[in-house]
């Protein structure tokens, strides 16, 4: 049965069944990207509504997790880009959580280095090492092949090595 042929009520129930198990991963992805609880909550909420709107056009045999995480990732990137705008107009305070307490120097270096990564490199690192996705799934979310996903993760690691070199080269 095509998704767009469902009644609204059935479609909502199907959507809820499909998305609910994906919410923890979505929230983890958002937090890894944005490093701010409120921003993460908003990003997942906004992405969920976007997914709901796009749901009737989703192919039945599509990879639902990759589809939803891609929407969340795009929402996070959009928020990261637009952050300065909302800051200026709403005079909001600092938008990044201070980070885990008691971090040592290498962790602070790594956190900052990850923060400085371009959005797509950061997304690749977060998907691979913060969400533990296989490269095939990383590629699905990035919209690239698993080989290209590996290449992107590795380029991000190269950049991290430059930025936080000692701690990543010490082994």
Partner 1 sequence: MRENEFRDRLRDALGEPPRLPAPQLTPSDAGVSRGYPRGMALLAVGLAVLLVLALVASRIALRPTGMTQPGARGGVAMPADAFPCSLAVEAISTAQNPGQIAVTSVSLGFVNIPGGGFQVDPAATVVGLPVDAITGQNFYSAALKRWVPASIQTISPDGLSYTYVKLLPAGATLSNATSSEVHVFDVAKNADRKVWSGASNVQLIRWDSAGILFAVWPFRGGAVLLWRIDPVTGAISQAPMDADPTRVPISALPGGGSSSYLGSDGHGQDVQRLGSRDKGTKYSIVVVASGRVTTLYTGTVGDSMDFDPVAVYSDGHGMWLGNSGGSRIWLWSPSSGLRSFPVTGLPPSPSGYAFTSFAFIPAGVCVPGTFAGVAAPGLPPATTPTPSPSPPQVDWAPLIAKPLNLQQLSSGARCPVSTKVDLVVTTNGPKKGGPNYGFGQGPVYISGQTSWYAGTQGVIFLTDPKYTGPVLVRGMRLDGTGSLTLSGEGATTLANGAIGLAETSSPPYWGIWFGMLTPSAPGCYGIQFDGTSFSSSAVIGVSPGPVPPG
Q: Which of residues 111-140 bind partner 1 (CB under 8 A)?
A: 111-116, 118-120, 125, 129-130, 132, 139-140
- Whether residue 142 contacts residue 124, with contact meaning beta carbons closer than 8 Å, is answered with yes
Stretch 57-116 residues interacting with partner 1 (CB under 8 A): 57, 59, 61-63, 66-67, 70-71, 74, 77-78, 80-90, 92, 94-100, 102-116
Give the shortest CB-156-to-partner 1 separation in angstroms.
11
Selected from 24, 76, 127, 156, the binder of partner 1 by CB under 8 A is 24
Say how far apart CA 88 and CA 68 lie, in whole Å. 30
The DSSP secondary structure of 88-141, one letter per residue, reads HHH-----S---STT--HHHHHHHHHHHHS-HHHHHHHIIIIIS---HHHHHHH
Selected from 15, 76, 127, 156, the binder of partner 1 by CB under 8 A is 15
Residue 91 CA from chain centroid, whole number:
26
Give the shortest CB-93-to-partner 1 separation in angstroms.
9
């Amino acid at each position: 049965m095509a998704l767009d042929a469902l009644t609204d009520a059935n479609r909502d129930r199907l959507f809820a069944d499909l998305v609910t198990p994906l919410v923890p991963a979505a929230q983890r992805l958002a937090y890894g990207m944005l490093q701010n609880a409120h921003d993460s909550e908003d990003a997942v909420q906004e992405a969920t509504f976007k997914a709901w709107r796009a749901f009737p056009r989703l192919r039945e045999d599509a990879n639902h997790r990759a589809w939803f995480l891609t929407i969340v990732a795009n929402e996070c990137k959009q928020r990261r880009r637009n952050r300065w705008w909302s800051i200026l107009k709403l005079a909001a305070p600092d938008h990044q959580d201070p980070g885990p307490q008691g971090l040592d120097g290498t962790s602070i270096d790594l956190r900052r280095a990850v923060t400085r990564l371009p959005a797509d490199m950061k997304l690749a690192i977060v998907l691979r090492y913060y969400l533990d996705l296989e490269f095939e799934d990383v590629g699905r979310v990035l919209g690239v092949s698993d080989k290209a996903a590996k290449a992107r993760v590795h380029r991000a690691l190269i950049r991290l090595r430059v930025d936080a070199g000692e701690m990543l080269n010490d082994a």
